Structure 1
Amino acid sequence: MQMHDYSIRTATPGDIDGARVVMLDAVYRDFGTGFVPRWHADIIDPVSFYVEPPRHTLLVAVDERDGTVAATGALDARGPAHPPNPRWLAERFPSGETAQLRRVYVSSGHRRRGLARRLVAGLVDFARADGGYRSVYLHTYPHSPGAMGLWRSQGKVVCDEREEVPGGGSGVVHFEIPFA
């Protein structure tokens, strides 16, 4: 396997289209859902969701060989909503105090190179520097390629809907990332 150099950085205006491609590729190929407006509005307009708000960020991993965006990772101050999430989860991770990791996606040709871990480290550093967050939260789907292994190595499961919600809920697994 040929090694590539990647830079991890805050997305620039020139990175937005490439970031959107990585994100859309994930929802179509990896999740099989395609674009669902109520779930994916941030993918279409990442600038107003992650770039403009001061406590939010969008990081990208850029392949230094050709300048393409190979991976994305975003953070915002919105905790998990109830519904659809369990009430206790929304109360444990309230908006404003919770840094929620979102859209940590790596293009299939760039996987297994540590990009997701590097993006997560950058997002957690951003949350620490903000000073107003008291926890780092995320949710994932178990069928997402590599997701469960990555998140189990980074944090702890706080709710596995497949086991804890009647009927399996939406099958989502919720994690907390150590933050102190």
Structure 2
Amino acid sequence: MRDYLIRPAAPGDVDGARAVMLDTVYRDFGTGYVPRWHGDIIDPAAAYLAPARHTLLVAVDEATGEVVATAALDARGPAHPPNPRHLAERYPSGETAQLRRVYVRPGHRRRGLARRLVGELLAFAAADGGYRSVYLHTDPAVPGAEAFWRSLGKAVHDERQDPGGGQGIVHFEVPLV
């Protein structure tokens, strides 16, 4: 059984975190790096370490010292477009903690890392005191993603039910602890 240390990312973790994120968008999403969607991946320090109300967490395999999972939170609500207008209005920037980049390397999945990381993000959001809701969106084509988020929150909009299927994204709200 492996042991993992979950902690806020330090500057020395940025390269490992970026590698986990890039591997995920190429392998699991099949899109590769798309600047308008993934700009935070290239500079996670600016996106998550510098702003006071943002955070990037990493899970480190204690045996190897390798970053094997990431999870981030920022104060930006969903933008319209590309997201539906009613979601941008319901989850405004500044009041919404948006969960992002909850990614686990394949060899480390099914060990509770994503759930532990999300728990830490929710505690961070609650301690901030300024967030009134927690929002995220996921691509249901990624194996296990939709079921995982349904186990933690409620779907507030499923674009697959929109005329034309929208972007096929499912939007969630997770209770603030």
Indicate the residue corresponding to 2:15 in structure 1: 17
One of 139, 154, 161 as aligned partner of 1:156: 154
Whichever residue aligns with residue 104 of structure 2, its letter is: V
Counterpart Cα distance in 2 of 1:70 and 1:146: 18
* CA–CA separation in structure 1 for the residues paired with 2:96 and 2:36: 21
TM-score, structure 2 normalization: 0.99
Residue 59 of structure 2 corresponds to which residue in structure 1?
A: 61
1:36 aligned residue (14, 34, 37): 34
User: What is the aligned counterpart of 1:46 among 44, 47, 51?
Assistant: 44
Q: Give the equivalent residue in structure 2 for 1:126.
A: 124
Distance across 2 between alignment mates of 1:5 and 1:127 = 25
The equivalent position to 2:74 in structure 1, one of 64, 72, 76, is 76
The aligned amino acid for 1:157 is A
Over residues 137-174 of structure 1, what are the superposed CA-to-partner deviations in whole Å (9 max), with x where a residue is unaligned? 000000112211210100000000001x2200000000
Partner of 1:171: 168
- For residue 23 of structure 1, give the secondary structure of its aligned residue in structure 2: helix
Distance in 1 (CA, whole Å) between partners of 2:83 and 2:165 is: 12
TM-score, normalised relative to structure 1: 0.97
Root-mean-square deviation (CA), in Å?
Answer: 0.7
SS at match of 1:70: strand
Q: Which runs of 5+ in 1 are unaligned?
A: none
Q: Deviations over 1:94-123 (max 9, x none)?
A: 000000000000001100000000000000
Runs of 4+ in 1 over 4 A off after TM superposition: none
Number of equivalences: 177
Identical columns (%)? 75
Alpha-carbon separation, structure 1, partners of 2:142 and 2:69: 15
Deviates more, 1:75-84 or 1:144-153: 144-153
Query: Helix, strand or coil: the match of 2:137?
Result: strand
Amino acid at match of 2:176: F
Name the counterpart of 1:138. 136
